[in-house]
Amino acid sequence: MGRHFEVRAAAMAATAKAKSAIYMRASREIYAAAKSGEPDPNSNLALRAAIEKYRKQCPRDVIDRAIEKAKGGDTVAYIQGRYEFMGPSGSNIIVDTLTDNVNRALVTVRTICTRKGAKMASVAYNFEQLGALNFKYANASEIEEALILGDVDVTSVEDIGEGNVEVHVAPHALEDAKKVLADLGVTDFDRCEITMIPNEWVTASDDDLPKLKAMLEELDEAEDVQNVYTNVENL
């Protein structure tokens, strides 16, 4: 099935507050990527990946302003963080933050999760970091053959219905996969990013599902939260 592993992708722009949060995350991540090297996506792979990730989620001017800010004298230092939780119904939740205030990020994330019945626990081993690409193409087998012949480190190719294909590759192979797909005429992606994909899925009970949805919605709108991953299949 065509799972959107990264919770934000399924819930983006559901409310004005959520849309504002997306724009903030995009600006912060693109700014940090631009500051990590040259503020030019042609020579800065991290910046190119960040732009691709948010290209369909926010207006171009949000992206351009973040890059221009990085070119200027602004020196905000964003710090990455990761927090892991075991939640109701055997759910696993990973929360990535990008913040200029680590204490604020920790308190916010921990408060949201614990109030909804989750507790901090090591769960990252239940996930695999992979490159994920979603796009329109009529023949998934043709995609798989091209990737294999192109010596791309591909994990899976799946027809997810309605002319959509989902491809998973090793993180280092994401750009190689895009080059092979471009030769087949695929240059427009609904999703193109490095993400965390669960090794096993769980189904939340009817009692737990509302709590999990509320938790993820609050995390989605939290100021310092950048990405949220979960292994709950029936969200």
| DSSP structure string for 93-148 | EEEEEEES-HHHHHHHHHHHHHHTT-EE---GGGEEEEEEEEEE-S-HHHHHHHHH
pLDDT at 14: 54
Strands 127-136 vs 191-198: parallel, antiparallel or unpaired: antiparallel
Is residue 166 within a helix (H) or strand (E), and if so which, with residue range? strand 164-169
Distance CA(184)–CA(181), nearest Å, equals 5
pLDDT at 17: 72
15: confidence class by pLDDT, cuts 50, 70, 90 = low
Of the chain, the percentage scoring pLDDT greater than 70 comes to: 93
pLDDT at 187: 93
Distance CA(66)–CA(91), nearest Å, equals 35
pLDDT digits (tens, 9 = 90+) for 60-111: 999 999 999 888 877 778 999 999 999 999 999 999 999 999 999 999 999 9
Mean pLDDT for 179-189 is 95
For the full predicted model, state whether its pTM sits above 0.75: yes
Single-letter residue type at 122: S
What Å distances lie between residue 183 and 56, 146, 147, 148, 178, CA to CA?
22, 9, 11, 14, 9
pLDDT digits (tens, 9 = 90+) for 108-151: 999 999 999 999 999 999 999 999 999 999 999 999 999 999 99
pLDDT digits (tens, 9 = 90+) for 25-65: 999 999 999 988 888 888 898 899 899 888 888 889 999 99
Distance CA(48)–CA(179), nearest Å, equals 14
Distance CA(216)–CA(235), nearest Å, equals 10
Checking if the pLDDT of 3 tops 70, the result is no
